[in-house]
Amino acid sequence: MDERARIRMNDDEVDAFLREGRKLQLATINPDGTPHLVTMYYALLDGRVAFWTYRAAQKARNLDRDPRTTCLVEAGDGYFDLRGVQITGLARRIDDLADVAEVGRAISHQLPDRGPGRSTEEYVQRAARKRVAYVVEPTRVVSWDHRKLAGAPQAAP
C-alpha cells in the first residue's frame, strides 16, 4: 500500500474530524482570479460544511459570482500529528432568514461566550438579518492523518 493510501481517512474518520473542528480556511476566487483566503467558523449540517457571513463580505460576493470553493480543516503541530480534510466543491447560498438562523445557531453553539447578558439566540436572531449562509456541496474530498504512519508516536487515548 502506498503512503498516501495509508494516511487517508475513511468516511467515518472524516466525519468525526470535521465534527471536532470549529474553524476552517475558506478559499474563494476574487474577480481578478486571485485566491481570497479567510478563516471561518463552521458547523456540519446534514454532513455538509456550512458557514455564514455578512451579505456584503468579499467572500459572499466571490461565491455569488463563482460558487467554486475549497475548504481546509487541519490540526496538529508535529509532522506525525498532522491531520486534515480538504473539501472542494460548490457553495450553495441560503437566503431564507430561518435557514440562515439555523446555520448561525449551529455555529454559535461552538463559539466562546457572547458576553454578559447576551444569549446565543438573541445574537443569532440579530446577526441573521444581516447575513447569508452557504452549504458546501463537495465534489472532491482529500484527507490525511499522519498518525497512521508506521513508527509514528501514538497519542495517549
- Convert the pLDDT of each residue in 94-117 to its tens digit: 999 999 999 999 999 887 765 566
Query: For 71-97, what is each residue's pLDDT tens digit?
Result: 999 999 999 999 999 999 999 999 999
Least Cα distance to 72 among 128, 140, 120 occurs for: 140
Give Cβ neighbours of residue 10 (< 8 Å, ≥ 6 apart): none
Query: Is 60 exceeded by the pLDDT of residue 154?
Result: no
Strand ranges of the sheet holding 131-145, from the earlier edge strand across to the other edge: 35-41, 23-29, 68-75, 83-94, 131-145, 48-54, 43-45
Query: How deeply is 8 buried, as exposed, middle or buried, from its count of CB atoms within 10 A (0-12, 13-18, 19+)?
Result: middle
pLDDT on residue 114 = 58
| All domains in the chain, ordered by first residue | 3-148 (2.30.110.10)
Quickly state the pLDDT bin for 18 (edges 50, 70, 90): very high
Grouping H, G, I as helix, E, B as strand and the rest as coil, residue 119 is coil
Query: Is 70 exceeded by the pLDDT of residue 151?
Result: no
Query: Is 80 exceeded by the pLDDT of residue 153?
Result: no
Entry pTM: 0.89
Q: Mean pLDDT across the chain, nearest whole number? A: 92
pLDDT on residue 41 = 96
pLDDT on residue 109 = 86
Is residue 155 within 8 A of residue 140, CB to CB? The reply is: no
